Homo-oligomer: A and B are copies of this chain.
Amino acid sequence: MLYSLIKKQGITRVGMTISTVDKIIEIAELQVRAGGYNSFSFREISKEIGIKSASIHYHFPTKADLGVAIANRYTARFEEHLANIIASTGEPLERLEPYIALFSHALKVDKKMCLCGVLASESDVLPEALQLEAKRFFDVNIAWLQSALFPQSPQAKAQACFILASLEGALLMGKVMKSNTPFEHVIEQLRSQSWK
């Protein structure tokens, strides 16, 4: 009862058992971020966890269901980080640096693309529910950047799109060029902008 509550909420701490559902989503996320929706499989995930692929269908009836769950958790975590940035900063423009750090972490620590960046690039062939969930990540980010960084600016939305696009693109370039330099160049340019 308590256990299942913990599992439903997905709470995991050091020493605490990670639920199968969380393991499935975690491994699936890494696989999607490495190679896209079509390159992750129930069999591959089941091997890494040590259960059978049929058992994954118990938790996620279809691949699309699991795909949506991955994107949903990813965006939810991102939203937590965004809220933390608001809570720990004063000046709006102070928030650019910790925002950049979220993407920097993906490239340098995870060494993976942004999940929704990958999904966006192959949007055409995704199940519709997953397309919508991927889109939501961008909606959330644009809305946050607008209000958190440029609350007064008439070009807030354009600037928000500009920042998000350049960071997603920078990840993309960093991955394929196997170098952090392009990403560094991009954030250097973002920092030196005269935002108004």
Contacts and interface: CB of A to CB of B under 8 A. Distances in A.
Interface residues of A, number: 49
Interface of A: 34-36, 38-39, 112-113, 116-125, 131, 134-135, 138-139, 142, 155, 157-159, 161-162, 164-170, 172-173, 175-178, 181-182, 185-186, 188-190
A178 B52 CA distance: 37
Contacts of A162: 166, 185-186, 189-190
B165 A172 contact: yes
Secondary structure call for the A interface:
helix
A93 to B, nearest CB: 16
Given A125-B35, A185-B158, A164 B168 contact: no
A138 B175 contact: no
A171 B161 CA distance: 11
